[in-house]
């Protein structure tokens, strides 16, 4: 059998009229499987029509792995500081050399003004993939719902309402399993949470995090991020009170052992969550994958909700976008308080 041809290290390509230089395409970004940058670029290009509606109009935080997945704890990049060689790092500011056609939005935060990248076309996804930006994270609010100041800066909302602040159009229930818990227990927790959300008039959409967690999203009529945070905070207390054997309301790592924590803080305007269909920087290439409630209910082993990029592309062919409800324009209002 002839040996498979290795991808070229450097090429120039065109994506929808944008000319891009791609480098080191044969670099292995997932050493455990030999998955290369060329395969990462290919995945993001193929998934672009599906992922773009979920990330467009949102400030994009990237988790970059310039020398591949090394299983280290990522460091958050601050003000463009240089990461240690081989270290993964979060990147919020647009990097040096950002193409002029890539949209950007300056956002005022407690850490100062951040110059975010906005991903609105396939070429931007390919450009980020070439930078080894494996993970894509976005907030629950949209840029267009806010009003930037005369200086072009869109200020994040504070605790008190402020005219022109960006609004959240979805709520996320991030189920964080403590020590000793697996995706099996997290799936059970997701079903219970979904029942409460549905009783509140929301349409819950489950997503496997690509690890052992599950997020439950729901589209909502635009509202203050603080209101979305308050709703999930009450939901956190409701679940811990109704099912103390499974949920815990405390943030303490020790108290969360053997329990599921509803991380309501992911709805704060300054926070972000993994985007649907984003790759994850895990030992093997996995994807944050929207799933069906039937799949959640059938979980019996950790592998049941773990999907490779190839799995996800095949699922899209078979099922379409299972997170399409998050894009529905007819969005229910956020309830004032969860039932129960």
Per-residue pLDDT tens digits for 240-267: 999 999 999 877 777 778 899 999 999 9
With a cut of 60, say whether residue 111 has pLDDT above it: yes
Q: Please report the pLDDT score of residue 29 as a whole number.
A: 96
Q: Please report the pLDDT score of residue 68 as a whole number.
A: 94
Q: Please report the pLDDT score of residue 80 as a whole number.
A: 39
Report pTM: 0.91
Q: Any idea where the domains of the chain sit in the sequence?
A: 11-326
How far are the Cα atoms of 63, 66, 160, 232 from residue 156, in angstroms, in the given order? Answer: 21, 30, 11, 19
Query: In angstroms, how far is CA 323 from the centroid of its own chain?
Result: 13
With bands split at pLDDT 50, 70 and 90, how would you rate the model's confidence at 75? very low
Instruction: In whole angstroms, give the CA distance from residue 291 to residue 194.
Output: 13
Percentage of the residues of the chain whose pLDDT score is greater than 90:
78
Strands 153-155 and 104-109: parallel
The CATH class of the 11-326 domain is alpha beta
Instruction: In whole angstroms, give the CA distance from residue 237 to residue 173.
Output: 13
Task: Select from 279, 277, 274 the least CA-distant residue to 321.
Answer: 277
Q: Which residues of 312-325 are buried (b: 16+ CB within 10 A; e: fewer)?
A: bbebbeeeebbbeb
Question: Which of 39-53, 57-71, 81-95, 321-335 is the least confident region?
Answer: 81-95
With bands split at pLDDT 50, 70 and 90, how would you rate the model's confidence at 81? very low
With a cut of 80, say whether residue 98 has pLDDT above it: yes
Strands 214-223 and 35-36: unpaired
Q: Please report the pLDDT score of residue 71 as a whole number.
A: 63
Q: Please report the pLDDT score of residue 2 as a whole number.
A: 38
Q: Please report the pLDDT score of residue 83 as a whole number.
A: 43
pLDDT single digits (tens) 139-181: 999 999 999 999 999 999 888 888 899 999 999 999 988 888 8
With bands split at pLDDT 50, 70 and 90, how would you rate the model's confidence at 337? low
């Amino acid at each position: 059998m002839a040996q498979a041809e290795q991808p070229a290290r450097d090429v120039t390509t065109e994506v929808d009229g944008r000319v891009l230089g791609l480098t080191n395409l044969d670099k292995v970004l997932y050493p455990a499987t030999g998955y290369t940058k060329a395969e990462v670029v290919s995945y993001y290009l193929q998934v672009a029509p599906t992922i773009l509606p979920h990330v467009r109009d949102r400030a994009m935080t990237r988790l970059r792995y310039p020398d591949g997945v090394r299983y280290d704890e990522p460091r958050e990049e601050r003000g463009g500081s240089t990461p240690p060689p081989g270290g993964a790092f979060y990147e919020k500011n647009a990097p040096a050399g950002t193409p002029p056609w890539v949209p950007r939005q300056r956002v005022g935060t407690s850490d100062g003004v951040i110059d975010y990248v906005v991903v609105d076309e396939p070429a931007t996804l390919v450009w980020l993939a070439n930078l080894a930006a494996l993970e894509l994270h976005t907030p629950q609010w949209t840029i267009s719902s806010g009003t930037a100041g005369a200086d072009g800066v869109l200020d994040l909302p504070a605790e008190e309402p402020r005219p022109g602040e960006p609004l959240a159009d979805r709520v996320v229930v991030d189920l964080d399993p403590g020590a000793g818990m697996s995706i099996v227990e997290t799936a059970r927790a997701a079903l219970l949470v979904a029942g409460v959300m549905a009783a509140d008039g929301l349409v819950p959409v489950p997503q496997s995090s690509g690890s052992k967690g599950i997020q439950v999203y729901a589209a909502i009529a635009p509202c203050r991020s603080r209101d979305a945070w308050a709703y999930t905070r009450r939901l956190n207390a409701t679940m811990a009170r109704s099912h103390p054997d499974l949920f815990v309301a405390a943030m303490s790592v020790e108290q969360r052992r053997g329990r599921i924590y509803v991380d309501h803080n992911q709805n704060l305007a300054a926070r972000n969550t993994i985007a649907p269909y984003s790759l994850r920087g895990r030992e093997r290439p996995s994807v944050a994958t929207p799933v069906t409630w039937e799949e959640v209910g059938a979980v019996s082993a950790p592998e049941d909700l773990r999907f490779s990029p190839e799995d996800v592309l095949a699922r899209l062919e078979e099922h379409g976008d299972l997170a399409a409800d998050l894009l529905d324009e007819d969005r229910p209002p956020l309830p004032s308080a969860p039932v129960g």
